[in-house]
Structure 1
Amino acid sequence: MFRELHPNIKIRIYTSFLSRLVGSMVFPFMAIYFAREINAVTAGILLLIQVVVQFLAGFYGGYLADTRGRKKVMVAGEWMKVISTAGMILVNSPWYTSAWVTFVMLVLLGISMGIGNPAAEAMLVDVSTKETRTMIYSINYWTINLSIMLALIIGGWFFESNFFELLLSLLVISIFILWITKAKIEETYVPEEKSPHSFSLKPIFSSYVSVMKDVPFMLFTIGGIAILSIEFQRNNFMAIRLEEEIPKQMISIWGSIPIEMTGVRLISLLTVENTLLIVLLTATVNKWLKNKSEQRLMYIGFLVFGSGYSFLAFSNNMAVLMIAVFIMTIGELIYVPTRQTIIADMVDESRRGAYMAVNGIVFQAGKIFGVLGIMVWEAVGGIGMAFLIILFALGGVLFSRQAIVRRSQRPVYIAKKMT
């Protein structure tokens, strides 16, 4: 079945795996880089700026993909990746280092991803069918988790000592992806007539106004932001906290193999545990979820997820942290599929593209709150952050429930459910 897929799909899966494999060796640890080179508060501000810029570029990239074609926008995004990565190498070499120029290059990289990713996702939809999409996204999900797991093992061990070499590997892969995108990807969408206002912000905003007026959907989106805000604490304040609070120490694996453990390596190990559990337990948990109340399970998943993360906010005991990751992963496996199913029922089918674009706010806003967590942690400490994480989990439950209740009270929605 995989062999029969459109070449664009196979190329995208391969390049996505490679891009995440090398990217995840570097970018999850950039909070530590800026905290070390400047300070923790400034690191939070810089990463917040980068996330906001990427967020805005994402809306613009989706609009350009519909007015300029998928391949042109994807190639432009890949060119920007190559340029930004090359710039990061020049200012993090053995001969010269500049954290501020690194930040500028990181912003450019964020713009490249914001512009290119919507076009790539739209291209996958263009060349797939209803029958093949489940398989495509399932394969993509597995490759994402596998690439992240492998990358974090490597990055956690080599980020501090071999940052320059990791950036070189990122550049090589970026050049390869640029070449294969330009040479092998086929254009899947040619606009009948290019809009004379393609580069104007006004038509972008007007296309999303009707979605923003859908109060139940926006409440559901806010609930999702609350939950994703918890998840994005791991590579921000939690990474910095463990790097500062976990001293270098020798530990033994299976009682005989000594290895040096640091805070950076520990956060890498915990992330690998989370990813590995997702890969191993997804099928089992999904089977258990069948024929059960999706709403109730989603709320349970939110609370279990938040509870596990709350321990990661303050504990320095390795055993406690690993148990917390297990608890958090179970919550994640419960809420992710149930929330996706519920949101599919909430979307107006006649404007699905606009609705799903707005739903993308969940990811980017979660990243923004994740970065803000660095500054909040400086003020309230680990225990205070644990309390806030529980509040965010409760907020996810309350906003999502209010959204579902309001949607169910709409006559159109009720009539749809009765048919």
Structure 2
Amino acid sequence: MFRTLHPNIKARIGISFLSKLIGSMVFPFMAIYFAKEINIGVAGILLVINIAVQFVASIYGGHLADHIGRRKLMVWGEWVKVGGFALMLSVNSPWLVSPWLTFVALLLIAVSQGFTIPASDAMLIDVSTREERAYMYSINYWANNLSVMIGVIIGGWFFQSYLFELLIGLLAMSLVTTWLTITLISETLERSENALASDAGIRGLFRSYRKILYDARFLWFTAGGIAVLSIEFQRNNFISVRLADIFPPMMYQFGWLGNIPFDGVKLVSILTLVNTLMIVLFTAPIAKWVRDRNLQKWMYVGFIVFASGFAVCAFTDSIWILFGATVILSVGELLYVPTRQTILADIVDDSMRGTYMAFNGFVFQIGKLIGAGSLMFSPYIGKYGMALFILLCGLVGVMMTFWALRPTMRTVKQE
């Protein structure tokens, strides 16, 4: 079936794989970078600003994609990304190291991603049929997980000692993906006669999203998703910084394996590998298992198990307990992801499915904001306070989602 997909789809899956493969070697460890070069509190502020910029850019980028075209926005974004990577490389070289200019480079990359991702998502829908989409998204999901898994493993072992070399690879790969986007991606936006007169400004943007704000059920459901996703982004923020601090680079004894050079960054990459492997291997069978069961019940169980695993990762100093907690949180993720996606598809207004899916993307951006923001208050509440905060996020996710799915909750159709 892959051969029958539109050339744009196959090209975009390949481009996304290459981009995330090399990006995952660097970006998951930027919290550690800023905490080391400046301090943990400032690192949290910088990451929050970076995520907020991408969040705002994505809102407007999705709107622009419907007016100026998918391909044009994607190509523009790729060139801005090249500029950001070039700046990042130049200020992390053997001759100059500047965390503040590195932050400026990250802002450029954030704007680029905020504009290209909505355009790319819209393009995939443009060139796919309803029957193809499940297969298309499934292939894209597996490719993304595989690229992130490989990238995080490599980055975990080489980020601290070979950042300059990784950034050279990042810039080279960005040039490759820019060339592939220009040569392989075709325009898919069909403009009407009055398309050029369409309002691409802020007023039109608010008109596009205003109607969805009347759907109380979807808004509560989205809020519950934000609470749960904020837990996942603790891995690349508080948990990664904490593990890098308590496991400094040195030789560690691993039983019959003997002494191995190890540190907290490598540990984060291995834990991420365990989580990703479980997701890749068991998503399909778990999704099939829960399909004929009470979806809400198992979604709530998944929320709690997921939060519990991350809470343990927030305070334990034992490598083996960290591995066990990672297995636990992976089980929770396997339970709640397919059930929540199924319920989400049931509650959206079919006539506004594209707008609903774009709005649902805010779950990830706001979740990232909360995850990065935790770096600012984590020094005051400590690791046990962070564990309680993570559990609280899981409980809030359960309560908000339960509130959203009550039969009496107002929907946009009723409004």
Could you say which TM-score interval applies, normalised by the shorter chain? Answer: over 0.9
Displacement of 1:4 in angstroms is 1.5
| 1:220 paired residue number | 221
Query: Is structure 2 residue 116 aligned with structure 1 residue 131?
Result: no
Runs of 4+ off more than 6 Å: 409-413
316-325 vs 210-219, which moves further: 210-219
Q: Distance in 2 between matches of 1:180 and 1:378?
A: 44
Q: Which secondary structure state, in structure 2, belongs to the residue aligned with residue 255 of structure 1? A: helix
- State the 1:209 CA deviation: 1.1
Match runs of 1:226-375 below 5 Å: 226-251=227-252, 255-256=256-257, 258-375=259-376
1:35 is matched with which residue? 35
Structure 1 residues 96 and 3, CA gap change in structure 2 (3 angstroms): same
Q: Tell which deviates more after alignment, 261-270 or 196-205.
A: 196-205
What is the Cα deviation at residue 259 of structure 1? 2.1
Residue 100 of structure 2: aligned partner: 100
3-state secondary structure, aligned to 1:260: strand
1:262-306 C-alpha deviation (Å, 9 max, x unpaired): 011111111111001111111221222121001111111000000
d(CA) in 2 for partners of 1:183 and 1:390? 48
- Answering whether residue 80 of structure 2 is matched by residue 63 of structure 1, we say no
- Match for residue 156 of structure 1? 156
Larger mean CA deviation between 319-328 and 343-352 belongs to 343-352
Identity of aligned residues (%): 51
Shift of 1:214: 1.2
Equivalent position of 1:17 in the other structure = 17
Range with bigger deviation, 178-187 or 155-164: 178-187
Q: Which residue of 1 aligns with 2:8?
A: 8
Aligned to 1:313, what secondary structure does the other structure show?
helix
Matched, 1:178 2:178: yes
Does 232-241 or 403-412 show the bigger shift?
A: 403-412
Match of 2:117 in 1: 117
Offset at 1:122? 0.6
Query: Aligned with 1:67: secondary structure?
Result: coil
CA distance in 2, matches of 1:349, 1:95: 56
Alpha-carbon distance between aligned partners in 1 of 2:252 and 2:42, rounded to the nearest angstrom: 33
SS of the counterpart of 2:66? helix
Q: Distance in 1 between matches of 2:400 and 2:250?
A: 43
Following superposition, the deviation at residue 149 of structure 1 comes to 0.9
Hey, what's the Cα distance between the residues in 2 that align with 1:78 and 1:257? 45
> 1:312-348, CA deviations, whole angstroms, 9 ceiling, x for partnerless residues?
1111100100000000000000000100111111111
Which residue pairs with 2:388 in the alignment?
387
What's the offset of the Cα at 1:247? 3.4
Matched, 1:50 2:70: no
Given the superposition, is the C-alpha separation of residues 64 and 119 from structure 1 closer, same or farther in structure 2, using an over 3 Å criterion? Answer: same
User: Partners in 2 of 1:99 and 1:260 — Cα distance?
Assistant: 27
User: Structure 1 residues 186, 197: closer, same or farther in 2, change over 3 A?
Assistant: closer
Q: Return 5+ residue gaps in structure 1 as ranges.
A: 414-419
Residue of structure 1 in register with 2:203 after alignment: 202
Residue 401 (structure 1) aligns with: 402
Residue 54 of structure 2 aligns to which amino acid in structure 1? Answer: Q
Give 1:411 shift. 11
- In structure 2, C-alpha distance between the alignment counterparts of 1:408 and 1:94, rounded to whole Å: 59
Q: Measure how far apart 1:183 and its partner are.
A: 1.4
What letter corresponds to residue 222 of structure 2 in structure 1? T
Which amino acid is the alignment partner of residue 184 of structure 2?
A: K
Deviation at 1:196, TM superposition (A): 4.3
Contact 1:216 1:406 in 2 (8 A): no
Distance in structure 2 (CA, Å) of the matches to 1:180 and 1:320: 44
- What SS does the corresponding residue of 1:259 show, helix, strand or coil? strand
Q: Tell me the secondary structure at the aligned position of residue 97 of structure 2.
A: coil
Q: How far 1:410 moved relative to its partner? A: 6.3
Residue type at the aligned position of 2:402: R
When normalised by structure 1's length, the TM-score is: 0.95
Which secondary structure does the structure 2 equivalent of 1:310 belong to? Answer: helix
Give the length in aligned residue pairs. 413
Amino acid in structure 2 at the alignment position of 1:149:
M
Residue 87 of structure 1, CA deviation: 0.7
TM-fit CA distance, 1:30: 0.4
Paired residue type of 2:388: F
- Distance, in Å, in 1 between the alignment partners of 2:371 and 2:413 is 37
How far did residue 190 of structure 1 move? 3.2
TM-score computed with the length of structure 2 as normaliser: 0.96
Asked if structure 2 preserves the Cα contact closer than 8 Å seen for 1:305 and 1:327, the reply is yes
RMSD: 1.6
- The letter of the residue matching 2:124 is L
State the secondary structure of the residue aligned to 2:211: helix
Q: Distance in 1 between matches of 2:258 and 2:80?
A: 44
Please say which of residues 190-199 and 350-359 is displaced more in the overlay. 190-199
